[in-house]
Amino acid sequence: MTQTIGRIRAPLRDVDIAAGTGSLLVSVDSLSRPGAAAASCDVLVIGGGPAGSTAATLLAERGLHVVLVEKGTHPRFHIGESLLPANLPLLERLGVRAEIEAIGLRKWAAEFVSPEHGESARYEFAEALDKSMPFAYQVRRSEFDEILFRRAARAGAETRENCRVREVDLGDRERLPLVRATGGDGAELEWRPRFVVDASGRDTLVANRLGIKRRNPRHASAAMYAHFRGARRHEGRHEGNITIYWFDHGWFWFIPLKDGATSVGAVAWPYYMKSRAKPLPEFFRDTLAMCAPLAERLAGAEIVSEVEATGNYSYLSEACQGENHILVGDAFAFIDPVFSSGVWLAMNSAVAGADLVEARLREPAKEAARRREFERVMRHGPTQFSWFIYRVTNPAMRELFLRPSNELRIKEGLLSVLAGDIFGRTPLARPLALFKLIYYAFSLANLRRTLAASRRRASNIRDDAAIPQRAGD
């Protein structure tokens, strides 16, 4: 017997999952092995990164039986080391602030450098509209993620590492989901949870299964990165600042870590990644040399990790929730890491997701409202950041970032976005509207340049279709 998962209901849309439209055909008989009973739990969380661990902690603290499965074993390498000030209240809420302070290097500002203009600008988080979050942390993600994962275990979640989910039947209103995984010893494991939280990150497990993952039609980029030892840092208070460097094919990040290592990466247009005709480490070094100020800071530094690369860096899913499941963090969407928003959006989505799950399982009268709020959170974050991300390499945007003005509190509003303060009560609407108005006026005043940049961007996005999922060897 083969059943088709019929309709995934979300408050703002219905996504038809049927043959020919991104189908997920799951043989229930094939998932239920004779003589093997699936274990029961309230919530099965797939993925032990920031989103999954946050959701598991919050749900376990509320007395739900949570199983958190992670395909790797902590600590494990992950990119994305720069947090935002908005992370700090949530770290306090989870009770891990002191642990993160112990492993983190304080980041007081974000810096933007344009070698083409010979200019740079420093954005101090303390100057944002909300002055209560003046800094963030730079962290090794292997350490950060492990702290959050162990916190979920202390909250009462049943945690499993080296456990890879292979098959998922999401069920429906009458039938519970069924999840099959393989443990590190090769044992087949099965659960029948009442609800599934997909926090599988860029694996996008459920979105791939449902056929609802899409390349972002408005953005395209790929990345290559490594850790360095001996990179030249700023002195004193500004040692931990993140620096963003523009170059002809995209931008670079420079993220100092507490143990002396520095994370350096290049995010480039697909056409540039396609041009690689040499081994990845050599291509990476040659790319870094294109930016003189960055190359100067790396003079004499050595690479102390593998050089890695990834393509398809920008994607989104058509739906973030269904009858018995939600997608949180990168399992739903990822745009671009230029504003270090990934970890914050992931953890914040897990907070809204935990509220939805609790209502679905315990307070059905609140479920509809919680679903609407979850949908709003999942759409709002990427939308707020994406307006800037889609334009960050545009000449007009670059010049405005390099010469920020605080007339009518515009710079303070921009800093609030850079700090991740986009979900609270901070009055961002007016300063951001004014900033956008200035951007459009500046673009019109330089129309020929604007049109040329627009054509180039459109061409770069079209080229993305030719880039494989993994851009490295």
pLDDT value at position 27? 34
- Checking 16-21 for CB contacts under 8 A at 24+ apart, the result is 17/210, 17/211, 17/212, 21/211
Surface-to-core class of residue 407, CB atoms within 10 Å of its CB (0-12 exposed, 13-18 middle, 19+ buried): exposed
CATH of domain 105-138+220-313+391-473: 3.30.9.100
Torsion of Cα atoms, 373 then 346 then 139 then 205, to 10°: 170
pLDDT value at position 473? 32
| Domain spans in the chain, listed from the N-terminal domain onward | 3-81+142-216+315-382, 105-138+220-313+391-473
Torsion of Cα atoms, 416 then 314 then 379 then 15, to 10°: 180
Tell me the average confidence (pLDDT) per consecutive run of 10 residues in the chain, 473 residues long: 32 32 34 61 98 98 98 96 98 98 98 94 97 97 98 98 97 95 96 98 96 91 96 97 96 97 95 93 98 98 96 88 97 93 97 98 98 97 94 92 93 97 94 96 93 86 53 34
Considering the four listed CATH numbers 3.30.300.10, 2.130.10.10, 3.90.550.10, 3.50.50.60, the one that applies to the domain covering 3-81+142-216+315-382 is 3.50.50.60
Rg value, the chain, Cα: 22
Cis amide leading into 75 (omega within 30): yes
pLDDT value at position 3? 33
pLDDT value at position 32? 40
pTM of the predicted protein model: 0.89
